[in-house]
Structure 1
Amino acid sequence: MMKRPGRTEALAVGAACVSVVLWASAFVSIRSAGAAYSPGALALGRLLAGVLVLGAICVVRREGLPPRGAWPGIAVSGVLWFGVYMVALNWGEQRVDAGTAALVVNIGPILVALLAARVLGDAMPPRLVAGMAVSFAGAVAVGLSMSGNGGSSVLGVALCLIAAVGYAAGVVAQKPALGRAGALQVTTFGCLVGAVGCLPFAGQLVRDASQAPVSATLNVVYLGVFPTALAFTTWAYALARTTAGRMGATTYAVPALVVLMSWLLLGEVPGALTLAGGALCLAGVAVSRSRPRATAPVAGPERLPRSQGAG
């Protein structure tokens, strides 16, 4: 039985929401685990945990290898998104304050939309552009409100920029692969490619794991199971059912959710500017994912039947 378009759209939105919430929670876990694990070791540990979970699911579901045509997209997204993005973000957040990191990384959705329009031919409707503008203004507000801690560096900003570019290019590369393979296959083998690319950090991972407290190691495992294995799979499911630009705009909700989670879990009470920025982020996502109302066709004047004979 074929799924109704409305139900398919609802499932895609739900899957995207799962990804956004889990990726927001990752910022809290990265902050905690990063005190005991170096950037490369943290990325490798997270990816290995993700590969183990995803691989087990593939075995149970008897998923085979992805078709040959899907491998270029899987390889590119694995290197850039699962590998470069994670290492660069982990490293960058050790050198810049949270506000600067959030501001720089959140140019990613804009890059996704531009690359998707250029490479994939995705349309950029006015509502998407307007929603991205509103959300980016919110991200700027959140960044400004959180950037009073100092400690920023040119290297840290550059690393966050590299992370944003890796994320954007990875999303655009992943989209064609999802047309040839399932979301679980694309996620599993993309994660495997990223883990292989991070193997040079294996020595650091062994050393850090032997010295890290249990809480930090549990955070690494959490990052691998939930924000990686689960969130990347739900993301791929949703991406296969919508455009890359609209999916990229959805991630603008992450800064708002990070503020809320920091408030609830870490006791960091946000200021008025932070709350206003978070509200703008969410409003922009709502605008970008909305659809214009269907207008009823305007009926033209009725034609009178042509008269017979002279009048």
Structure 2
Amino acid sequence: MTIAPPATRSGWLTFAAVGFTVLAWASAFVGIRAVGATYGPGALSLGRLLVGVVALGGLMLVSRRRWVAPTAREWGFLALCGLSWFAVYNLALNDAETRVDAGTTAMLVNVGPVLIALFAGLLLGEGFPRWLIVGALVAFSGAVLVGAATADGTADLLGVLLCLAAAVTYAIGVLSQKPLLRRLPGLQVTFTACAIGAVACLPFAPSLVDTVATAPAAATLGVVYLGLVPTALAFSTWAYALARMDAGRLGVSTYVVPPVAVVMSAIVLGEFPPLLAIVGGAVCLVGVAITRRR
């Protein structure tokens, strides 16, 4: 099997952007699990998005990139991306992690790349390369192994449904973002979608204010971290990579997130993965490698 390594500086930058995104999003599962006992799903979503908006706005000012006026059609895609991926996804994921352990949540949410690859082939004309399908199936089987190994038996039906809802809105967000990146700067797209998501979550403002007033400093710092790293920075690096890769192929790379999340959980939360989780993580990596084959 021949793996296509990055051949140019741009290729290596894209590879690095994907790697950073994976690590940051894996840490988000751990962070949400850690602060979810203090911040409710709505307050956590709004707090994270507000921090993200401020950070992304600062990045836009520093970059001094010209604002590109979106067309009416592009505003529609921006609204869909902001509402689905930034608002509904965060609400569903935060609520799910109060009911389902982090490893199982990561596994269930990562059915999203399968949906991305499928709908990208149907709606974006990216087709269905043989090795993309094979790699997706292999990586998904690894994600299932990780979920089976880390499940603690406390998941309820509503928690599972919330994880699947997060996966669907994740796929919708990626597919609505891809057409925007053909003309609009990635940072502008991420900032605008994050702002739309924050506005949609404003009804949770009273809950956020009350929680901030009584929450331990560590929990509030966790919310700030979630807004800065997994939201502002990781969504920006994701947009950078998505502008340079097929949506289906990039989406499959996030199958690495569950095993990374399990390792982080062991270090931060003291949740030590069994051998089956390690095997599942290795299978995920093999699947991702297969998708890179030419």
CA spacing shift, 1:239–1:193, aligned 2, 3 Å: same
Of 164, 170, 175, 1:161 maps to: 164
Residue pair 2:111, 2:167 contacting (<8 A) in 1 also: yes
Q: Percent of counterpart pairs with the same letter?
A: 53
The reply on whether 1:212 has 2:219 as its aligned counterpart is: no
What's the counterpart of residue 11 of structure 1? Answer: 13
CA spacing shift, 1:245–1:258, aligned 2, 3 Å: same
Q: Give the match's secondary structure for 1:174.
A: helix
1:70-149 mapped onto 2 (5 Å cutoff)? 70-147=74-151, 149=152
CA spacing shift, 1:291–1:6, aligned 2, 3 Å: farther
Deviations 1:70-95 (A, max 9, x none): 32222211110011111100001112
Of 184, 187, 211, 2:187 maps to: 184
Q: Give the match's secondary structure for 1:259.
A: helix
CA spacing shift, 1:97–1:61, aligned 2, 3 Å: closer
Q: Give the match's secondary structure for 1:250.
A: helix
The reply on whether 1:62 has 2:64 as its aligned counterpart is: yes
What's the counterpart of residue 303 of structure 1? Answer: none
Partners of 1:158 and 1:275 in 2: how far apart? Answer: 26
Deviation at 1:101, TM superposition (A): 2.0
Deviation at 1:49, TM superposition (A): 0.3
What's the counterpart of residue 279 of structure 1? Answer: 282
Deviations 1:194-224 (A, max 9, x none): 1011111111111111111000000000000
Partners of 2:97 and 2:266 in 1: how far apart? Answer: 19
Residue pair 2:104, 2:146 contacting (<8 A) in 1 also: no
Q: Give the match's secondary structure for 1:286.
A: helix
Deviation at 1:252, TM superposition (A): 0.3
Partners of 2:106 and 2:9 in 1: how far apart? Answer: 33
Deviation at 1:97, TM superposition (A): 3.0
> Mean alpha-carbon deviation: is it higher for 52-61 or for 192-201?
52-61
Deviation at 1:99, TM superposition (A): 4.1
Residue pair 1:259, 1:278 contacting (<8 A) in 2 also: no
What's the counterpart of residue 26 of structure 2? Answer: 24
Residue pair 2:259, 2:280 contacting (<8 A) in 1 also: yes
Residue pair 1:67, 1:180 contacting (<8 A) in 2 also: no
Deviations 1:249-292 (A, max 9, x none): 0100000111221233333332110100011111111111x232
Q: Give the match's secondary structure for 2:99.
A: coil
The reply on whether 1:265 has 2:268 as its aligned counterpart is: yes
Partners of 2:191 and 2:83 in 1: how far apart? Answer: 13
Partners of 2:80 and 2:194 in 1: how far apart? Answer: 11
Partners of 1:99 and 1:13 in 2: how far apart? Answer: 25
Partners of 1:262 and 1:122 in 2: how far apart? Answer: 35
TM-score normalised to structure 1 length: 0.89
The reply on whether 1:170 has 2:173 as its aligned counterpart is: yes
1:186-205 mapped onto 2 (5 Å cutoff)? 186-205=189-208
The reply on whether 1:223 has 2:226 as its aligned counterpart is: yes
Rg (Cα) greater in structure: 1
TM-score normalised to structure 2 length: 0.94
One-letter amino acid of the counterpart of residue 240, structure 2:
Y
Partners of 2:212 and 2:206 in 1: how far apart? Answer: 10
Residue pair 2:150, 2:274 contacting (<8 A) in 1 also: no
Deviation at 1:175, TM superposition (A): 0.3
How many residues end up aligned between the 2 structures?
A: 287
Unpaired segments of 5 or more residues in structure 1?
293-311
